[in-house]
Amino acid sequence: MKIKCLVIDDEETARRGLAVLLEDYEEVDLIGRCANGVEAIDQIRALKPDLIFLDVQMPGINGFEVLASLPKPWPQVVFITAHDQFALKAFEVNAVDYLLKPFSDERFDQALHRAKAKIKAQELENRAVKNLIDQTKASLKGTSSLVQNDGDQQRLVIKVDGSIHLLELADIRYVEAFDYYVKIHVAARFFLLRETMKKMEERLPDSGFTRIHKSYIVNHASVKALHKQENNEYEIELVDGAQLKVSRNFKAHLLERLGA
């Protein structure tokens, strides 16, 4: 997704120059140019840019007054000015950078690189917050749900006795059927959840979990050994010492998954 950018400067040559520089960056979409503070406020509210290049000194409303007129969160800001006395104030409002006119192409590239990094970090943070909200909503409905977070981390979100638990999939040893409930075994404890084994099997990724019995789903990483019994049956030994029977109906699938 492209970065939406707005250029704000009362000098036409400055606006045009910034536009020319931005043409070299395919990941940036220049969505507008503003010649004064009033126009800038209107355009920022309407277009919601990710990044603005903002002149400090403009007639009527200056750059800082533009920001003060906007609700937070603000877009990322790179201030542009011919004077350095505003630098401290610029960083007090968390500006990404402060470009002094005239600046080189290399200095501009540096500022844009910083802005892109901050925008990406903000996107990741926003996604994490959204995931947590979604997890909480699902849990409050009394159901568990599998949530894929940024990166490779996966968690199972469950609500037990009014409390919300975010279980790392890597920490789940195995799941056991227990009457109308399931026991999710994690390290030295378990969580009792009103859920079916079929639903749990659907929610756990088959890349890491396998159904071995009508009563058991195991985490591949928790398997210590696979023992063949005298009656040609198999039993799994887990890293925590638990011994689980492998059903004939699931034996072939398990052996295939474990490469045995």
Q: Is the peptide bond before 73 cis (omega within 30 degrees of 0)?
A: yes
Pairing of strands 223-228, 234-238: antiparallel
Contact criterion met (CB below 8 Å) for 48 and 22? no
Q: Identify the three-state secondary structure at position 208.
A: coil
Question: CATH classification of 141-258 is 2.40.50.1020, yes or no?
Answer: yes
Write down the domain spans for the chain. 3-129, 141-258
Mean pLDDT (whole number) for 113-139: 74
Name the residue with higher pLDDT: 89 or 66: 66
Mean pLDDT (whole number) for 194-200: 89
Q: Identify the three-state secondary structure at position 68.
A: helix
Compute the distance between CA of residue 244 and CA of residue 135 in angstroms, rounded to an integer: 31
Q: Identify the three-state secondary structure at position 17.
A: helix
**Which has the minimum average pLDDT: 100-104, 111-115, 137-141, 249-253?**
137-141
Compute the distance between CA of residue 127 and CA of residue 121 in angstroms, rounded to an integer: 10
**Which has the minimum average pLDDT: 143-147, 225-229, 233-237?**
143-147
**Which has the minimum average pLDDT: 80-89, 97-106, 198-207, 221-230?**
80-89
Task: Give Rg (Cα) of the chain.
Answer: 28
pLDDT reported for residue 111: 94
Q: Please give the structure tokens belonging to residue 240.
A: 């925590």
Q: Is the peptide bond before 205 cis (omega within 30 degrees of 0)?
A: no
Compute the distance between CA of residue 67 and CA of residue 109 in angstroms, rounded to an integer: 23
pLDDT reported for residue 135: 59
For 116, the enclosing helix (H) or strand (E) is: helix 105-140
> Does the pLDDT value for residue 142 go beyond 80?
no
> Does the pLDDT value for residue 174 go beyond 90?
yes
Cβ neighbors of 223 (< 8 A, separation 6 or more) are: 236, 237, 238, 239, 258
Pairing of strands 181-186, 189-193: antiparallel
Q: What is the third-level CATH fold of 3-129?
A: Rossmann fold (3.40.50)
